[in-house]
Structure 1
Amino acid sequence: MKKIIIVLTFLCLAAGLKAQQKPTTPSKSDSKQTSADSLLNAMSTDDKHQDVLAAFKATRLIFSPTTETVKKKNLNFLVIHRFGDMATSEAGAKTLYGLDRVQDVYIGFEYGITDNLNVDFGRSTIGQLIELGLKYAVLHQTVDNSSPVAITLVGDYGVRPYGDFQSYAERNSFLGQAIISRKFSSKFSFQVAPIYVYSNTPLVYDENNVAIPDIPSSAKGFFALSGAARYKITTHMSIVADYEHSFSSYRTGANGFSDPLGFGIEVETGGHVFTLNITNANSISQINTLSSTRQDFGRGQFRLGFTISRMFDFNHGDKAKY
């Protein structure tokens, strides 16, 4: 899986480095255009420089935020659930394949200060983590490939207001990432994101969401890489996939950790985007998924989850741009 992510990353970057063709010298017949022809050509050129819209239909997939932003004076309300294990000896029919056991719940809000700048707020059940974040779209993909990729920066601050900590600083976690996406066709979009996570108190949660003691201080900060894709199968339905890998000397398979991996179906219904997914990760917040995922598909530790995204427009009756 790591090799696949790396290959796709190079494909995305290679598309970004594609040389643009120089315009050819106009012929005599071209120089005799009418004023109407000139106007049509100018309109065509403007269209080619337009942004590519909706590489992704939602601002986040299964774990990862996307390069999409909430437009100015729009509010995105998010409800995200992760249920219990579906196929372990403790699960199966007796827990209705995990539906009786809710592992994590996230309630969040994303507000568009401008079309390119969002402020985000949310809370997760695991660790009682409260997050405040900023999301800024610095570059948009264009139709003519003058900008072959979209780039969005995300910064998150997380705090655990409860628990046994010696100081306020010990409660804090931070995450920063640069998301690079490309819409390769009307059906397929892909993104990759280098990530850095830092926690003043490194926390890892077990299968019962209880913090594991004695985490080495060297595990405080680490880099990670995520890759996500969307493939459109009908006008309002897509298949999505999401993967994360932590480059941490502590968070390895030998120490019982697994890479978060998820697959899902995304359905757009007007103002709603609904995603139904299956993943091995208990948690929802990227701070937690990258730091704490210990569940493995091979042990039956995968679960059903869903995301409901509802957009509200406060532009006084103007048609939403999102």
Structure 2
Amino acid sequence: MKKYLILLVLLTASNFLIAQTTDTAKNEKKASSMDALLDSVSTDNKTDNVVIFKATRLVLSQSTEMTKKKNLNFLIIHRFGDAGGANGGGKLYYGLDDVADVYIGFEYGVSDNFNIDIGRTTIGGLADLELKYALLHQKSDNSSPIAITLIGEGGVRPYGFVTYPTFGDRLSYFGQVIFARKFSSAFSLQIAPSYVRDNLPMPDVAGNEQQFFSLSGTGVLKVSNHMGIIVDYAHPFSSFRQHNSNFSDPLGFGLQMETGGHVFTINFTNARAIDEINYLSDTESKYSKGQFRIGFTISRIFDFNHNK
């Protein structure tokens, strides 16, 4: 009888210890999950950088936003043909049967402040390598009221041996400084002085400059938590373009939508080209002649931070 009593006590004690261990493990797991949740939503301990824009690309311009470290941003940017005018209208389904330009590119975050981007555009077969560096971030405590991002790009046109007799003629360069600020929860603005150099002027006509400066301005008005309206404008400071009525300043309007890991932008612009080198050098389409087109941008982020 005594043996059975001792056995019963031991079984009861062991069950109690197992239950306590299980509860402790559950509590630790729950605490760990809660800590992870708090870490994911907390900004006090990690960063107070202001997110000024939803994406790295707007309509014409790039933004101050960066692709985060060990993230890959896959981009598809498409411009259809003229909606109206001699090359548009109903016979071409208002430009949807035609293609003005397509850009496919990748943006990789070497760090949160430094990106390497590569891509190719249909117009001129321009392939580009770009370096992007976030020099300054806007801070939520207003210790830094603006964000500053630097962009340097080199482009090469590998085809067209008659047009470009030497390799040097195929090269173009683009440099830009972007100043941006989020003025309120609903409105963000950026301005961007730029420099463009085409070793062979584009278009290659008498009197055209090899190099010129430009100034871009972009505003985004947020209309909901996941949607914003974009106005994007650029003005090249070029005497050749100012005295030639064929040229127009690039102007675009867009509606940007955020859906999970995707950012989708639908836009209208008179610029046929997508790359800055191309559309700043040669935009000859005019809204007044129906020479504007619908376009879209799809951005998909891939996260390679497996240790999270």
Measured against the shorter chain, the TM-score band is 0.7 to 0.9
Computing the radius of gyration over CA atoms, which structure comes out larger, 1 or 2?
Answer: 2
Residue deviations 1:218-268 (CA, integer Å, cap 9, x gap): 510000000011111111111111100000011126341000000010000
Match of 2:205 in 1: 214
What are the residue-to-residue correspondences of 1:1-322 with 2, within 5 Å? 47=44, 50-163=47-160, 164=162, 165-204=164-203, 213-216=204-207, 219-252=209-242, 254-316=244-306, 318=308
Amino acid at match of 1:194: P
Query: Are the equivalent residues in 2 in contact too, given 1:51–1:140 (CA < 8 A)?
Result: no
So what's the TM-score if we normalise by structure 2? 0.83
Q: Calculate percent identity across the aligned residue pairs.
A: 57
Amino acid at match of 2:84: A
Residue deviations 1:125-165 (CA, integer Å, cap 9, x gap): 00000000000001000112110000000000000001122
Amino acid at match of 2:170: R
CA 1:215–1:158: 2 relative to 1, 3 Å: farther
Query: Are the equivalent residues in 1 in contact too, given 2:50–2:140 (CA < 8 A)?
Result: no
Amino acid at match of 1:53: V
So what's the TM-score if we normalise by structure 1? 0.79
Q: Note the aligned Cα RMSD (angstroms).
A: 1.6
CA distance in 1, matches of 2:222, 2:249: 25
Residue deviations 1:196-217 (CA, integer Å, cap 9, x gap): 000100122xxxxxxxx4343x
Match of 1:9 in 2: none
CA distance in 2, matches of 1:287, 1:224: 11
CA 1:189–1:48: 2 relative to 1, 3 Å: farther
Residue 279 of structure 1: CA displacement? 0.3
Answer with 245-254 or 94-103: which moved more. 245-254
Residue 47 of structure 1: CA displacement? 4.3
Residue 50 of structure 1: CA displacement? 4.6
CA distance in 1, matches of 2:140, 2:71: 25
CA distance in 1, matches of 2:267, 2:248: 18
CA 1:179–1:203: 2 relative to 1, 3 Å: same
Residue 54 of structure 1: CA displacement? 1.8
Q: Secondary structure at the match of 1:251?
A: helix
